[in-house]
Structure 1
Amino acid sequence: MAINVQLLLLLGLVFMSTFCIVKSCTCLPAHPQDHFCKSNFVIRARVVPKHSTKVGHSIFTKRHKNDVVLPTLSGLDKPCDEPFKHWKIRIKKVYKGEEFIATGAEVSIYTSIFDSLCGVTTLEEGEDYLFMGMLQEGQLRFTTCNWHAKWSTITKKMRKGLRYQYKSNCNCQISTCGLFDKCSKCLHTKKADGACVWDAWEGDCESKYSTCIIHDDGRCAWHRSPELSRCRKSIEKKAK
């Protein structure tokens, strides 16, 4: 009986130790504003070539280094002790997290080495990127589920959102449709609730050229820009 108990305990430990590896990566589509509001940090940074010998600095500003409280995870939500890979980056602009992240710092940004754990596979050295992610154990961490993209692909409207529109409208609800329910079904009810409806598969125009903002009546709606109208008309023409 004692042997059986020990065997069960051993199997349990093996199962727990391999649990992280067998998980698969699943990322649901989200509007850039949603990504921004749910991230701990949002930065523009350049990937530093590996041969660079510049000494990196702390990610924390001197003013807030002793005061910052980093987010912590517990229980089954706590990251597993899987190995990480990292890139050296030079932070050029902080859009979120500026109270503790220093502009100009040269630091590492971490991701899992496992594709199954949403590890980012490649970044190009010398390129500027937009990075969003979480602060964990004093490190900048991101996955394929966090929005990251070459800076050259970020539209002017997105950059305006990054500077102030996303942050000032984080109280707005963006309701994603097309994943589990049809957009035509929820469009009317969600709009009535004061939410912005975003199509997971056909919402590219809203992603690139609009922000869900609070209007004078207190309700949230997509900001109608000339770029948004042109994008929608272009898609309508292609659909005909």
Structure 2
Amino acid sequence: MAITTQLLTFLGLIFISCFYAVMSCTCLPAHPQDHFCKSDFVIRAKVVPYYSKIGHSIFTKRHKNDVVLPTAPSSGSSNPNEPFKHWQIRIKKVYKGGEFIANGAETSIYTSIFDSLCGVATMQEGEQYLFMGMLQDGQLRFTTCNWHAKWDTITKKMRKGLRYQYTSNCNCQISTCGLFDKCDKRIHTKQADGACVWDAWDGGCESKFSTCIVHDDGRCAWHRSPELSRCRKTEITKS
């Protein structure tokens, strides 16, 4: 009887471990331009102390194309029974989503309370961040799969991309390789048929210092810059 109980306990622990493994959050790597183009909003914002007057929504009606408000309406704090946590932010710059977000607005940004649903663990009060995410139920929401980072880690080329290069080149396709096998860029470039090839595990230089842009011949290719060349040379030296 004792052996049976121990066996059942052991099998139960295996089941629970497998359950949490299945439920764990998995995010596939993506180039910053891809993150930008697939997001509903892209903002630079400062995490500020929370006050109970902050509201749920940042527009008058629960529709993304409605009137922009300079500040969030005072409709009370969020429902404690909702599976979300949130931080109060002051929006410094809107790069995407200007039709429903205003510079200088104060609102909340939400994430799941569950790690298994890709909830963001913590944000540092007083720091400025780059946030990307989706609009859902009148709320700005983001996960660990959405690009977010401290503003002082964003390179000058990334900031240029945020200002205009990313949005004007969203029609360009970035073909990701190396997710499940080794990336051979020469072969993958031929298969990609004009798309910019990005190595998921070795594409840091393109992420930090380049944008996939439309060239004069109508084809998309990585924008070459001195910073990109220097980064590539450094990577070659390291390897």
Fold similarity call, TM over 0.5: yes
Moved more, 93-102 or 182-191: 182-191
Residue 12 of structure 1 corresponds to which residue in structure 2? none
Residue 132 of structure 1 corresponds to which residue in structure 2? 132
| Alpha-carbon separation, structure 1, partners of 2:52 and 2:84 | 21
Are the aligned partners of 1:175 and 1:190 in contact in 2 as well (CA < 8 Å)? no
| Alpha-carbon separation, structure 2, partners of 1:66 and 1:204 | 37
1:171 equivalenced with 2:171 (yes/no) = yes
> Given residue 221 of structure 1, which amino acid in structure 2 is its aligned partner?
A
Are the aligned partners of 2:57 and 2:138 in contact in 1 as well (CA < 8 Å)? no
Query: TM-score under structure 2 normalisation?
Result: 0.79
Alpha carbons of structure 1 residues 103 and 184: separation in structure 2 relative to 1, 3 Å = same
Give structure 1 stretches of 5+ with no counterpart. Answer: 1-18, 70-80
Are the aligned partners of 1:36 and 1:167 in contact in 2 as well (CA < 8 Å)? yes
Q: How does 1:88-99 map to 2 (within 5 A)?
A: 88-99=88-99
Residue 31 of structure 1 corresponds to which residue in structure 2? 31
C-alpha root-mean-square deviation of aligned residues, in Å?
Answer: 2.5
The Cα of 1:57 is off from its aligned counterpart by 9.2
- For residue 172 of structure 1, give the secondary structure of its aligned residue in structure 2: coil
- For residue 183 of structure 1, give the secondary structure of its aligned residue in structure 2: coil
Query: TM-score under structure 1 normalisation?
Result: 0.79
The Cα of 1:238 is off from its aligned counterpart by 1.1
> Given residue 108 of structure 2, which amino acid in structure 1 is its aligned partner?
S
Q: How does 1:175-186 map to 2 (within 5 A)?
A: 175-184=175-184, 186=187
| Alpha-carbon separation, structure 2, partners of 1:234 and 1:154 | 19
Are the aligned partners of 2:210 and 2:224 in contact in 1 as well (CA < 8 Å)? yes
Residue 108 of structure 1 corresponds to which residue in structure 2? 108
Residue 65 of structure 2 corresponds to which residue in structure 1? 68
Are the aligned partners of 1:190 and 1:197 in contact in 2 as well (CA < 8 Å)? no
- Cα deviation, 1:103-160, whole Å, max 9, x if unaligned, reads 1111000000110000000100000000000000000000000000000000000000
What count of residue pairs does the alignment treat as equivalent? 206
The Cα of 1:65 is off from its aligned counterpart by 8.0
| Alpha-carbon separation, structure 2, partners of 1:66 and 1:190 | 40
Give structure 2 stretches of 5+ with no counterpart. Answer: 1-18, 67-80
> Given residue 187 of structure 1, which amino acid in structure 2 is its aligned partner?
H
1:146 equivalenced with 2:146 (yes/no) = yes
